[in-house]
Amino acid sequence: MRVVFFGSPEFALPSLQMLVDHGHDVLAVVTQPDKPAGRGQRITAPPVKGLAEKLGIPVMQPKSVRTPEFAEALRALAPDAAIVVAYGKILPKSVLEIPKFGCLNVHASLLPRYRGAAPIQWALIRGELKTGVSIMLLDEGMDTGPVISMSDVDVLEDDDAISLSNMLSMMGADEMRKVLATLERDGHIDAIPQDDTQATTAPMIKREDARVVWTNHADQIILAIRGFLPWPKAYSVANDREVKFLAAEACDPDWVVVEALEDERVPVGTVIDSLKGRGIVVKAGSRTLVLVTRLQPQDKPAMAAIDALNGGLIRIGTRFL
């Protein structure tokens, strides 16, 4: 099948590789322009561009997909379908109408739940026990098109946004493989409209979303720490310096100094104890505790929380705000 691939981040790589491995004619890859990234703000290409160049596929990086020039360039390729995986922009009607079978999208949720830019992160943060991937036919809305197929997976107790993204990226590629095989065999797509009354949203993550709310229950805080990896990372401020939290788990009150947990004069967000070899214990809302096992103090490398305590970067009595 003649296809054009739209995608940008690492999440899209398994789907692009799948198209090549299964003999589809990838006419071009459309990805975001190179842009500054990291502390040094070095100009960096999207991961999809690197794989496309390695595979010898022409790359297009338009600043906008809404120009007549881009639509004309796409039309000249005469694709049977466009495969869209985390491209990063909503495609206009002028583009959606060009491929013979439309634009098929891998979305990392069980639609209509978690429509939007960050479905994996918000599913984790909100404590979903299941998530998955949906293959849908794109329309002009934000993940509102009819669904062609769906596959679900359990969210594991120790999953974070990195591990779950890796799993769903592979699932999405395999689900798209099956959809394209059916399309080649039958020559048409069956898609079911979404039930908009069941829709939830997964808006783009903002840095301020990741500031830990220590009045929350420990379970909510732990989910946030897992959900905000690898960016922007859950964080608090202590002694006017930022601390990022990279890993945490629940802590049984029987393991620590209970007096500090019960004492209302000890505010939430306070480091009240440590567990030897494991981490620091922070008081949270509803008389619950968070065992922080890995963190990153400002201007320091990531480290075990117990090493931060032993090195004097964090102390018993330190309060995170």
The per-residue pLDDT for 291 is 97
- Statement to judge: residues 15 and 164 lie in one domain: yes
CB neighbours of residue 143 within 10 Å: 24
Residue 2, strand partner residues? 25
In a domain, 76, yes or no: yes
CB neighbours of residue 117 within 10 Å: 15
- Statement to judge: residues 124 and 171 lie in one domain: yes
Rounded Cα distance between 48 and 54, Å, is: 10
Whole-number CA gyration radius for the chain: 23
In a domain, 303, yes or no: yes
Residue carrying the six token digits 């399309």: 183
Residue carrying the six token digits 């003999």: 23
- Statement to judge: residues 35 and 145 lie in one domain: yes
- Statement to judge: residues 235 and 280 lie in one domain: yes
Of the candidate ranges 35-39, 108-112, 139-143, 236-240, the one whose mean pLDDT is the lowest: 35-39
Tokens of 151: 């596959």
In a domain, 315, yes or no: no
The per-residue pLDDT for 110 is 98
In a domain, 193, yes or no: yes
Write the pLDDT tens digit of every residue in 248-294: 999 988 888 677 778 888 999 999 999 988 999 999 999 999 999 99
The residue type found at 289 is L
- Cα distances (Å, whole numbers) of residue 175 to 24, 42, 92, 188, 194: 15, 35, 25, 16, 18
Rounded Cα distance between 148 and 87, Å, is: 19
Helix axes 13-21, 161-186, angle to 10 degrees: 30
Write the pLDDT tens digit of every residue in 110-123: 999 999 999 999 99
The per-residue pLDDT for 122 is 98
Q: How far is CA 94 from the centre of its chain?
A: 28
- Statement to judge: residues 41 and 140 lie in one domain: yes
**Domain range for 127:** 2-198
In a domain, 318, yes or no: no
Q: Which of 171, 198, 225 is the last residue of a domain?
A: 198
The per-residue pLDDT for 277 is 82
Q: CATH number for the domain including 222?
A: 3.10.25.10
Mean pLDDT score, 214-238:
97
In a domain, 319, yes or no: no
The per-residue pLDDT for 264 is 85
- Statement to judge: residues 13 and 139 lie in one domain: yes
The per-residue pLDDT for 253 is 87
SS3 labels along 179-242: HHHHHHHHCCCCCECCCHHHCCECCCCCHHHHECCCCCEHHHHHHHHHHCCCCCCEEEEECCEE
- Statement to judge: residues 82 and 171 lie in one domain: yes
Close Cβ partners of 88 (under 8 Å, ≥ 6 residues apart): 8, 9, 32
pLDDT at residue 136 above 90?
A: yes
Rounded Cα distance between 224 and 205, Å, is: 12
- Statement to judge: residues 81 and 214 lie in one domain: no
- Give CA torsion, residues 111, 115, 121, 122, to 10 deg: -90
- Cα distances (Å, whole numbers) of residue 293 to 141, 251, 281: 41, 11, 9
In a domain, 34, yes or no: yes
Rounded Cα distance between 93 and 109, Å, is: 24
Q: Which of 150, 176, 198 is the last residue of a domain?
A: 198
- Statement to judge: residues 80 and 173 lie in one domain: yes
- Statement to judge: residues 98 and 211 lie in one domain: no
SS3 call for 271: strand
Phi, psi of 228 (to 5 degrees): -95, 15
The string of DSSP letters for 7-67 reads E-SGGGHHHHHHHHHTT-EEEEEE-PPPEEETTTTEEE--HHHHHHHHHT--EE--S-S-S
The per-residue pLDDT for 255 is 81
- Statement to judge: residues 276 and 176 lie in one domain: no
Q: What's the whole-model pTM score? A: 0.94
DSSP designation for 254: G
- Statement to judge: residues 105 and 235 lie in one domain: no
Rounded Cα distance between 146 and 173, Å, is: 19
In the predicted model, what is the mean pLDDT of the chain? 96
In a domain, 144, yes or no: yes
The per-residue pLDDT for 274 is 93
pLDDT at residue 38 above 80?
A: no
Q: CATH number for the domain including 127?
A: 3.40.50.170
Q: How many distinct structural domains can be found in the chain?
A: 2
Rounded Cα distance between 234 and 227, Å, is: 8
Q: Which of 164, 198, 232 is the last residue of a domain?
A: 198
Rounded Cα distance between 149 and 134, Å, is: 6
